[in-house]
Amino acid sequence: MAKIYVASSWRNVYYPEVVTKLREAGHEVYDFRNPPHGQGGFKWQNLDPNYDKWGVDEYKKGLQHPSSELQFKSDLDALNWADTCLLVLPCGRSAHTEAGWMKGAGKKVIVYIPEIQEAELMYKLFDLVSDSLDEVNQYLQKNMDIIKDLGDPYSGDSKFVAKCRLLQSMYRAEQGLAIRPYKGRDGVHYYGNYIEGGEISGANFLADYIFEYAKHRVEHREKYETIESDRLFNNLLSSQPMAFNLFCPLRKLLEESPEEATRVIKSALPMFPIHHVTKVDLEFIPSNYKDMTGDKSAMDAIICFKAEDGKDGFIAIETKYSENLGTNEASNNEKSLEIIKQLKCFNPDVEEKIKSKQIKLTQIYRNFLLSENYGLWIGAESYSIVLSPKIHPSTDDEVRSITNEMRPEYQGKLQNLSLESFTDKLIYESPEEYADIFRRFRDRYLSFDKVG
Q: Would you give the DSSP letter of residue 393? A: S
For the segment 383-415, what is each residue's pLDDT rounded down to a tens digit? 999 999 999 999 998 889 889 988 998 888 999
Closest residue by Cα to residue 258 from 274, 234, 235, 244: 274
287 and 428 co-located in one domain:
yes
- Give the per-residue pLDDT at 220: 94
For the segment 151-182, what is each residue's pLDDT rounded down to a tens digit? 888 888 999 999 999 999 999 988 878 888 88
Closest residue by Cα to residue 419 from 392, 383, 397: 392
Q: Looking at residues 51-66, what average pLDDT do you find? A: 88
Provide, rounded to the nearest whole percent, the portion of the chain with pLDDT above 90.
56
Sequence-distant (≥ 6) Cβ neighbours of residue 206 within 8 angstroms: 245, 437, 440, 441, 444
* Any domain includes 174: no
For the segment 251-272, what is each residue's pLDDT rounded down to a tens digit? 999 999 999 999 999 999 999 9
Q: How many domains does the chain have?
A: 2
- Asked whether the predicted pLDDT for residue 192 surpasses 60, the reply is yes
For the segment 76-126, what is each residue's pLDDT rounded down to a tens digit? 999 988 889 999 999 999 999 999 998 887 688 999 999 988 889 999 999
* Any domain includes 446: no
- Give the per-residue pLDDT at 236: 97
Q: What is the C-alpha to C-alpha distance for residues 225 and 222, in angstroms, rounded to an integer?
A: 5
Decide which of 98, 125, 148 is a domain's last residue: 148
How would residue 330 be classed by pLDDT, with cut points 50, 70 and 90?
low
286 and 392 co-located in one domain:
yes
- Give the per-residue pLDDT at 288: 82
Decide which of 148, 165, 182 is a domain's last residue: 148
How would residue 42 be classed by pLDDT, with cut points 50, 70 and 90?
confident
* Any domain includes 300: yes
- Give the per-residue pLDDT at 353: 86
* Any domain includes 195: no
Look up the CATH number of the domain holding residue 18: 3.40.50
143 and 247 co-located in one domain:
no
- Asked whether the predicted pLDDT for residue 147 surpasses 60, the reply is no
Separate counts of helices (H) and strands (E) for the chain: 18, 12
Q: Looking at residues 38-61, what average pLDDT do you find? A: 85
* Any domain includes 296: yes
126 and 12 co-located in one domain:
yes
Q: Would you give the DSSP letter of residue 127? A: S
The angle subtended at Cα 398 by Cα 396 and Cα 399, nearest 5°, is 65
275 and 417 co-located in one domain:
yes
Domain that holds residue 298: 238-435
- Give the per-residue pLDDT at 258: 97
Q: Looking at residues 298-321, what average pLDDT do you find? A: 95
- Give the per-residue pLDDT at 67: 82
Decide which of 119, 148, 177 is a domain's last residue: 148
Q: Would you give the DSSP letter of residue 321? A: S
